[in-house]
Structure 1
Amino acid sequence: MRGVRRQYGRGSGAVHALAGIDLALPRGSFTAVMGPSGSGKSTFLQCAAGLDRPSGGTVHLGGTEITGMSENKLTALRRTRLGFVFQAFNLLPSLTVEQNVVLPMRLAGHRPDRRKAAQMLTRVGLGDKGGRRPGQLSGGQQQRVAIARALVTEPDVIFADEPTGALDTTTAVEILGLLRSAVDGMGATVVMVTHDPAAAAYADRVLFLADGSIVDRLERASAQQIAARMTTLTAPAYAGVAA
């Protein structure tokens, strides 16, 4: 991301959601993005993933500049080179687990690779659940399916938006372990937005956003270090989270 800005509205009522982001994330790394409500976390993720167009600056995925792409090309790129994991899982209830996993292949116009889907489901501990419907699974199992779906096309980047927000602590630890193992074992690149210092501690680095800018970062930090840094940035906004 080079000089990425995102402005909503004009004139005196304009909101500068991103105020000029300069950032390069290496392949095979795990980055967490944190900040108070309104800091620009969601806009950051949407612009980085090509879901929203910046008002200024450029976004590059590998050697490809995605900023000026047509919507059709962006859609094709997202289906083949990006993976997504959301807080609400976003599985299709009428499809089986296996069908949900191969959906990115089908949407990209490729023949679904059932063997690859089975491998990914085994990797996330659901090798025997391919024929189930999402509604027959627990929340943690559904998020595992979402991770398998994100990994199945071996994307350049996986974007995770509060992936543990709807899960209990024990299940959250399992999901974060899977994301960490995707980086360490498969060379995946993960960018995760989270409000939880314990979740951020699984990342290689933590970026702190405030008022649309990256104001600090930590490398290989513990949950305690991350929480402490959050409280010192903008104390009133962070105090409740850190507590």
Structure 2
Amino acid sequence: MAREAAPSTAAVELAGVRRRYGKGDRAVHALRGIDLSLPHGSFTAVMGPSGSGKSTFLQCAAGLDRPTAGSVRLGGTEITGLGENELTRLRRSRLGFVFQAFNLLPSLTVEQNVLLPLRLAGRRPDRDRAAEVLGQVGLADKGARRPSELSGGQQQRVALARALVTRPDVIFGDEPTGALDTTTAAEVLALLRDAVDRLGATVVMVTHDPVAAAYADQVLFLADGALADRLPRSAPARIAALMKDLTSTTTATAAAGAGAAA
């Protein structure tokens, strides 16, 4: 069973989280000891150069992958040692996900897509709740449509409504605006910001876009599997400058390592 801790002010807690793929000389250390606590009702962006561990961080934090070492707590629940069935139940009932590719089922209506997490969690499909969250994302009149009848931005709004429907502890976003044009991306980011400010949601979003990251309360920067820096809510130019410096440093370090190995 999930091990409940005392009530915590943190929505996401990682302690000494490491993730290694492979063994011996061929081992890849994707995460190298992440210690982190993210409060409820906060919006966190995660950035870093290619190969920095962003995707692995998100997967471990969301219970989609298991750390090699360390512990993860979501809403005060220790999830690291849970079995697959328990993890599946937790993800379906207490977490929301928004992906770059939307991941809507084309054979279902918008309303049915939104209600899917409730069905998968064994809960009664609540059409009033579906109408509520569709209204929150500006799609109150689109419940009977199919995803193919919607624009990309509207489909991502449906995905956000689906993420909100269970009132999750945390919404995890993996490049949620990566497939959208600039204007539509701004609309989706504003909805994520509103979900935090008005609905009390907690959002953790991986992104490569400094403009997207500027919507967050803080930006975490990963490099070589470790937390390299962080910024409080900042303008895109400042985020981009720090990201540029971090990428340059990472590239120089990798080149020096390759030279030494040769």
TM superposition score category, shorter chain reference: over 0.9
Corresponding residue for residue 226 of structure 1: 239
Q: Give the deviation of 1:72 after TM superposition.
A: 0.2
Corresponding residue for residue 64 of structure 1: 77
1:116 aligns to 2:129 (yes or no)? yes
Structure 1: give runs of 5+ residues left out of the alignment: 239-243
1:11 aligns to 2:48 (yes or no)? no
Query: Residue 159 of structure 1: which of 172, 175, 183 is its match?
Result: 172
Q: What do residues 195-242 of structure 1 show as CA deviations (whole Å, max 9, x unaligned)? A: 00000000000000000000000001110110011112231769xxxx
Structure 2: give runs of 5+ residues left out of the alignment: 1-13, 252-262
Corresponding residue for residue 77 of structure 1: 90
Corresponding residue for residue 199 of structure 1: 212
Q: Give the deviation of 1:27 after TM superposition.
A: 0.3
1:217 aligns to 2:230 (yes or no)? yes
Query: Residue 197 of structure 2: which of 179, 184, 198 is its match?
Result: 184
CA distance in 2, matches of 1:52, 1:234: 26
CA distance in 2, matches of 1:237, 1:213: 12
Q: What do residues 7-57 of structure 1 show as CA deviations (whole Å, max 9, x unaligned)? A: 000001100000000000000000000001110000000000000000000
Corresponding residue for residue 241 of structure 1: none
* Aligned residue-pair number: 238
Corresponding residue for residue 31 of structure 1: 44
C-alpha RMSD of matched pairs (Å): 0.9
Q: TM-score, normalised by structure 2?
A: 0.90
CA distance in 2, matches of 1:89, 1:63: 29
* Partner SS for 2:208: coil
Moved over 3 A (4+): none
Query: Residue 152 of structure 2: which of 113, 136, 139 is its match?
Result: 139
* Partner SS for 2:186: helix
Letter in 1 for 2:235: S
Corresponding residue for residue 41 of structure 1: 54
* Partner SS for 2:133: helix
CA distance in 2, matches of 1:73, 1:91: 24
Contact 2:40 2:202 in 1 (8 A): yes
Q: Aligned residues: percent identity?
A: 76
Q: Which has the larger radius of gyration?
A: 2
Q: What do residues 150-196 of structure 1 show as CA deviations (whole Å, max 9, x unaligned)? A: 00100000000000000000000000000000000000000000000
CA distance in 1, matches of 2:126, 2:175: 28
* Partner SS for 1:50: coil
Q: What do residues 38-84 of structure 1 show as CA deviations (whole Å, max 9, x unaligned)? A: 10000000000000000000000122100000000000000010000
Q: TM-score, normalised by structure 1?
A: 0.97
Q: What do residues 85-133 of structure 1 show as CA deviations (whole Å, max 9, x unaligned)? A: 0000000000000000000000001110000000100110100000000
